[in-house]
Structure 1
Amino acid sequence: MLVLLAVSALFLKIVGEETKEVVPPYIKQCKEGDPYIVKCLIDAVHHLSPYLAAGIPEIELPSVEPFRMEELSLSLTTGPNGYKVTLSDIDIFGASNFTVNKLKMSENGKPFEAEIYMPELRINSKYSSSGILIILPASGRGSFHGRFGSVTAMVKGKTSTNVKEGKKYLNVDSLNFDMKVQTINMGVKNVYRNSRILVEAMNLFLREKMDRKSYT
Structure 2
Amino acid sequence: MFWVKTISVFTWILAVDCTIPSYIKVCSKNDPHIDVCIKESISYLRPQLASGIPELDVPSLEPLVIDHFQVNSGRDQARINLGVNDVKIWGASKFDITEVKVDEAQLSFFVKVLIPHLYFEATYDLDMQMLVLSYKGKGPMSGNLTDMVLTFQLNGEIINKNGVQYLHFPRVKNGMTLGKIEMSFGDEKFKSEVLGKGINQVLMENGDMIAEQFAPGLAEACEGLFTDIGNHITEAFPYEELFPL
TMscore range, shorter length: 0.7 to 0.9
Query: Alignment RMSD, CA only?
Result: 2.7
Asked if the contact 1:189–1:199 (Cα under 8 Å) also holds between the matched residues in 2, the reply is no
Equivalence map 1:17-96=2 (5 Å): 21-79=18-76, 82-96=79-93
Instruction: Give 1 or 2: higher strand fraction.
Output: 1
Secondary structure of the 1:185 match is strand
**Of 189, 193, 196, which residue of structure 2 is paired with 1:192?**
189
Secondary structure of the 2:200 match is helix
Match of 1:4 in 2: none
Which amino acid is the alignment partner of residue 176 of structure 1?
K
Work out the CA distance in 1 between the residues paired with 2:164 and 2:141. Answer: 45
Instruction: Name the % identity.
Output: 25
Per the TM alignment, residue 36 of structure 1 is displaced from its structure 2 partner at its CA by: 1.9
Query: 1:212–1:78: structure 2 CA closer, same or farther, 3 Å change rule?
Result: closer
Q: If you compute each CA radius of gyration, which structure gives the higher value, 1 or 2?
A: 2
Asked if the contact 2:159–2:166 (Cα under 8 Å) also holds between the matched residues in 1, the reply is yes
**Of 129, 152, 156, which residue of structure 2 is paired with 1:155?**
152
Match of 1:144 in 2: 141
Mark the runs of 5 or more structure 2 residues left unpaired by the alignment.
1-15, 216-245
Q: 199-208 or 62-71: which moved more?
A: 199-208
- Alignment pair present for 1:113 and 2:110: yes
Which amino acid is the alignment partner of residue 48 of structure 1?
L
Match of 1:16 in 2: none
Work out the CA distance in 2 between the residues paired with 1:196 and 1:178. Answer: 38
Work out the CA distance in 2 between the residues paired with 1:40 and 1:110. Answer: 15
Which amino acid is the alignment partner of residue 76 of structure 1?
S
- Alignment pair present for 1:130 and 2:127: yes
Q: 105-114 or 93-102: which moved more?
A: 105-114
Asked if the contact 1:187–1:206 (Cα under 8 Å) also holds between the matched residues in 2, the reply is no
Work out the CA distance in 2 between the residues paired with 1:21 and 1:174. Answer: 25
Question: Structure 1 length as normaliser, TM-score?
Answer: 0.78
Which amino acid is the alignment partner of residue 22 of structure 2?
P
Per the TM alignment, residue 184 of structure 1 is displaced from its structure 2 partner at its CA by: 2.8
Asked if the contact 2:73–2:210 (Cα under 8 Å) also holds between the matched residues in 1, the reply is no
Mark the runs of 5 or more structure 1 residues left unpaired by the alignment.
1-18
Question: Structure 2 length as normaliser, TM-score?
Answer: 0.70
Larger relative CO (CA 8 A, sep 6+): 1 or 2? 2
